[in-house]
Structure 1
Amino acid sequence: MLDHEQVVVRSGRRSRLPVIVAVHSTALGPAAGGLRLWHYPDWRDGLTDALRLSAAMTAKFAVAGLPSGGGKAVVALPEGMVLDPDRRRDVLEDVADTVESLGGTYATGPDVGTGPDDMAVIGTTTRHVFCRPARLGGSGDSSPHTARGTLAALRAVSRRLYGTASLDGRRVAVAGLGRVGTELARLLAAEGAALTVTDVDQDKRRTGHELGADWVAPDEILAAPVDIVVPAALGSCLTRQSVTRLRCDAVVGPANNQLATPDVADLLHRRGVLWVPDYVASAGGVVHAVSVEVHRLSAEEARARVDAIEHTVTDLLSTADAQDLSPAQAATALVRHRLAAADPAGRSAA
Structure 2
Amino acid sequence: MSKFDHERVVIHTGPRSGLPVIVAIHSTVLGQAVGGCRVWHYGDWHEALTDALRVSAGMTAKCAVAGLANGGGKTVVALPNGMRLDAAQRRNLLHDVADVIESLDGAYATGPDVGTTPVDMAVIGDRTRHVFCRPQEQGGSGDSSPHTAAGTLAALRATRRHLHGASKLQGCRLAVVGLGGVGEKLARMLAAEGAQLQVSDIDQAKRVLADQLGAAWIDPDEALTQDVDILVPAALGGILTQQIIPRLRCAAITGPANNQLATPEVAELLHQRGILWVPDYVAGAGGVIHALTVELHGGTRDEAAARILQIENTVHTLLATAASAGITPAQAALESVQHRIKT
TM-score in terms of structure 2 length: 0.99
Q: Distance in 1 between matches of 2:328 and 2:4?
A: 27
How far did 1:22 drift?
0.3
How far did 1:137 drift?
0.8
1:199 is aligned to 201
Q: Distance in 2 between matches of 1:319 and 1:287?
A: 23
2:212 is aligned to 210
Structure 1 residue aligned with 2:52, among 50, 62, 65? 50
1:324 aligns with 2:322: no
Letter in 1 for 2:104: L
1:234 aligns with 2:236: yes
1:345 is aligned to none
Q: Distance in 2 between matches of 1:57 and 1:303?
A: 20
1:221 is aligned to 223
How far did 1:2 drift?
2.7
What are the ranges of 5 or more consecutive residues in structure 2 without an aligned counterpart?
Answer: none
Q: What's the CA shift string for 1:30-60, capped at 9, x where partnerless? A: 1001000000001110000000000000000
Structure 2 residue aligned with 1:299, among 289, 298, 301? 301
Structure 1 residue aligned with 2:167, among 147, 165, 180? 165
1:110 is aligned to 112
Q: Distance in 2 between matches of 1:156 and 1:289?
A: 23
How far did 1:283 drift?
0.5
2:311 is aligned to 309
Classify the secondary structure of the residue corresponding to 1:25: coil
2:135 is aligned to 133
Letter in 2 for 1:38: W
Letter in 1 for 2:221: D
2:103 is aligned to 101
Q: Distance in 2 between matches of 1:287 and 1:76?
A: 27
Structure 2 residue aligned with 1:78, among 80, 84, 89? 80
How far did 1:186 drift?
0.3
- Following superposition of structure 1 onto structure 2, how do residues 16-27 of structure 1 map, counting pairs within 5 Å? 16-27=18-29
Q: Distance in 2 between matches of 1:150 and 1:298?
A: 21
Letter in 2 for 1:294: L
Q: Distance in 2 between matches of 1:178 and 1:307?
A: 22
Q: Distance in 2 between matches of 1:59 and 1:134?
A: 27
Q: Distance in 2 between matches of 1:338 and 1:213?
A: 41
Structure 1 residue aligned with 2:261, among 259, 262, 271? 259
1:334 aligns with 2:302: no
1:33 is aligned to 35
Letter in 2 for 1:31: A
2:7 is aligned to 5
Q: Distance in 1 between matches of 2:238 and 2:65?
A: 21
Letter in 2 for 1:246: L
Letter in 1 for 2:293: S
Q: Distance in 2 between matches of 1:305 and 1:162?
A: 25
Q: What's the CA shift string for 1:240-284, capped at 9, x where partnerless? A: 111211111100000001001110000001100000001111110
Q: Distance in 2 between matches of 1:156 and 1:173?
A: 17
Letter in 2 for 1:190: A
Q: Distance in 1 between matches of 2:204 and 2:74?
A: 30
1:68 aligns with 2:70: yes
Q: Distance in 2 between matches of 1:2 and 1:330?
A: 22
Q: Distance in 2 between matches of 1:207 and 1:89?
A: 33
Q: What's the CA shift string for 1:141-189, capped at 9, x where partnerless? A: 0000000000000000111111111000011000000000000000000
Letter in 1 for 2:203: D
Superposition CA RMSD, Å: 0.7
1:347 is aligned to none
Q: Distance in 2 between matches of 1:252 and 1:263?
A: 18
How far did 1:13 drift?
1.1
Structure 1 residue aligned with 2:287, among 276, 285, 288? 285
Q: Distance in 2 between matches of 1:325 and 1:69?
A: 26
Q: What's the CA shift string for 1:47-89, capped at 9, x where partnerless? A: 0000000000000001111100000000000000001111111
Identical aligned pairs, as a percentage? 65
- Following superposition of structure 1 onto structure 2, how do residues 262-273 of structure 1 map, counting pairs within 5 Å? 262-273=264-275
Q: What's the CA shift string for 1:300-326, capped at 9, x where partnerless? A: 001111111111101111111121111
Letter in 2 for 1:95: V
Classify the secondary structure of the residue corresponding to 2:26: strand
Q: Distance in 1 between matches of 2:127 and 2:80?
A: 26
Query: Which runs of structure 1 show a deviation greater than 6 angstroms over 4 or more consecutive aligned residues?
Result: none
Letter in 2 for 1:161: L
Letter in 1 for 2:166: T
